[in-house]
Structure 1
């Protein structure tokens, strides 16, 4: 089975089209930042089991309160979370009383406010964490793959893996700009957690393929005398079953969580699901073709 050859141009072209679509979506729709990154307030209420609460009823009850950036999520059987632009204690009491009077009996469980200074700090730390993780991956791969034939560069292995990771992140971000626009998904700290987890899973699959390429270049390997494209193709065929089976197991778990889980974790699960699919694809059809193309130039 020849997975490379002229086919590698098609892999890169397909990814390029998807990423370009995502970038256009980002420019048009942008991302909907959550309270963690722009500041705001959260109110959590617990309702009585016999009351008939709904998202629409709560919004109608608060229609005359002039609440900016209001988002409402249900958690559990009788729990509701309201996210909005930063408010004070008096405004919070107005909201709670309006819900009690117009919808039904409820009890306040939590009230939190994230100021702009805290959200700015969290935004900077999130970007720094992702960049630091990428640089750490480059140095780790370069160190782990230092014992290679002279015509192979460990740094090219590391940078090829990072290009595949950037590919994954751009697709997830592009997808979330569409989801933010049409379904109201927000970018919060859980989303950053999902991105960092995606980085780990994706680079794990890539390292498995790269490690097999290294092993097949050893002098005792039957493929050691072949060119890099042939060795890389053999390595992909040898590891593809393992990569697909591992990723499929995780994807099935995520689908179950998405089906049975609550609304509050839905954006996190969707981000993980998109990232796992793109990460599996990129480790096979992006990182390795880039590595082969780079070494053949």
Structure 2
């Protein structure tokens, strides 16, 4: 059975534009909540051996040192403290205050510190890494499809793949802007790693469809370009669904049972990979058809 995906291509593109604009608005208005990887500062995580006290009680213990200390529950018995000062003195002051209150009822799980200049440098490098990855993808696709100049120029394959990638990345960023605003979820270097993974996974899915379009252009000549693209999508649909589902099942398992430290890394991948499968069919391919129709 052949599904006519391209029949409603205007609807898919319109929906994608709305989602992308909303994600941009969320990011522009609320931004992302950066953790110490980017802002600099200290992070201390402790685990209460028995039942964790009320989080407000714990907060009152450490705010006597510094009102800017952020206190957040994590998991069943863990508490995470974030403070702007990244020195060991602040670390020891917080631990001492907690010991005075709770003696040996907790244990220290980890302490991390990043200087403000290092954090700013990491943020800049993260941004450039994403931009460079996109440029490299465009160049690679343009080279790989260099022999396909009709009916759509080869460089446009790369351009449309990037537009699909931008949709995927912005969707993840928009969701985490909302999570940061309403749930206090912050992002750091693992989030950047997730975005780069989404870029690679999504473009791989798009290239599979584009490659089938290229093959069909060489062996099928009696159907319209729209029907040829739709046929190519249908021929690769089973592969796309199977690959996406198996990957998502593993990521969902990580999200629920993989621990707090990688929970939202997995969530970013879940959103991005699902969006990548969507954009390969409902953004990249309709854009090919749109470019062909404008050329006519």
Q: TM-score, normalised by structure 2?
A: 0.91
Once residues 50 and 214 of structure 1 are traced to their aligned partners in structure 2, the CA distance between those partners, rounded to angstroms, is 62
Distance 1:39 1:130, change over 3 A: same
Query: Counterparts of 1:9-28 in structure 2 under 5 Å?
Result: 9-28=10-29
| Match for residue 226 of structure 1 among 223, 226, 251 | 223
Which residue in the other structure is 1:274 paired with?
Answer: 271
- Equivalent residues of 1:149, 1:217 under 8 A apart: no
| Match for residue 237 of structure 1 among 229, 234, 239 | 234
Which residue in the other structure is 1:96 paired with?
Answer: 95
Distance 1:267 1:67, change over 3 A: farther
1:286 counterpart SS class: helix
Which residue in the other structure is 1:189 paired with?
Answer: 189
Query: Counterparts of 1:127-276 in structure 2 under 5 Å?
Result: 127-218=127-218, 221=219, 223-276=220-273
Which residue in the other structure is 1:84 paired with?
Answer: 83
- Equivalent residues of 1:29, 1:177 under 8 A apart: yes
Query: Counterparts of 1:48-127 in structure 2 under 5 Å?
Result: 49-50=49-50, 52=52, 55-68=55-68, 70-72=70-72, 74=74, 80-105=79-104, 106-108=106-108, 110-127=110-127
Task: After TM superposition, give the deviation of residue 260 of structure 1 in Å.
Answer: 1.1
Task: After TM superposition, give the deviation of residue 187 of structure 1 in Å.
Answer: 1.7
Structure 2 unmatched runs, 5+: none
Once residues 103 and 148 of structure 1 are traced to their aligned partners in structure 2, the CA distance between those partners, rounded to angstroms, is 69
- Equivalent residues of 1:186, 1:267 under 8 A apart: no
2:274 counterpart SS class: helix
Task: After TM superposition, give the deviation of residue 113 of structure 1 in Å.
Answer: 2.1
Which residue in the other structure is 2:32 paired with?
Answer: 31
Number of aligned residue pairs: 291
Task: After TM superposition, give the deviation of residue 289 of structure 1 in Å.
Answer: 0.5
Once residues 266 and 71 of structure 1 are traced to their aligned partners in structure 2, the CA distance between those partners, rounded to angstroms, is 19
Task: After TM superposition, give the deviation of residue 56 of structure 1 in Å.
Answer: 4.4
* 2:39 equivalent to 1:42: no
Task: After TM superposition, give the deviation of residue 152 of structure 1 in Å.
Answer: 2.9
Once residues 89 and 294 of structure 1 are traced to their aligned partners in structure 2, the CA distance between those partners, rounded to angstroms, is 59
Structure 1 unmatched runs, 5+: none
Q: TM-score, normalised by structure 1?
A: 0.90
Task: After TM superposition, give the deviation of residue 216 of structure 1 in Å.
Answer: 0.3
Distance 1:156 1:149, change over 3 A: closer
* 2:4 equivalent to 1:2: yes
Task: After TM superposition, give the deviation of residue 162 of structure 1 in Å.
Answer: 0.3
Once residues 38 and 151 of structure 1 are traced to their aligned partners in structure 2, the CA distance between those partners, rounded to angstroms, is 49
Distance 1:171 1:50, change over 3 A: closer
- Equivalent residues of 2:194, 2:269 under 8 A apart: yes
- Equivalent residues of 1:53, 1:103 under 8 A apart: no
Task: After TM superposition, give the deviation of residue 138 of structure 1 in Å.
Answer: 0.6
Once residues 238 and 290 of structure 2 are traced to their aligned partners in structure 1, the CA distance between those partners, rounded to angstroms, is 24
Once residues 238 and 146 of structure 2 are traced to their aligned partners in structure 1, the CA distance between those partners, rounded to angstroms, is 27
> What's the C-alpha RMSD, in Å, of the aligned pairs?
2.0
- Equivalent residues of 1:45, 1:81 under 8 A apart: yes
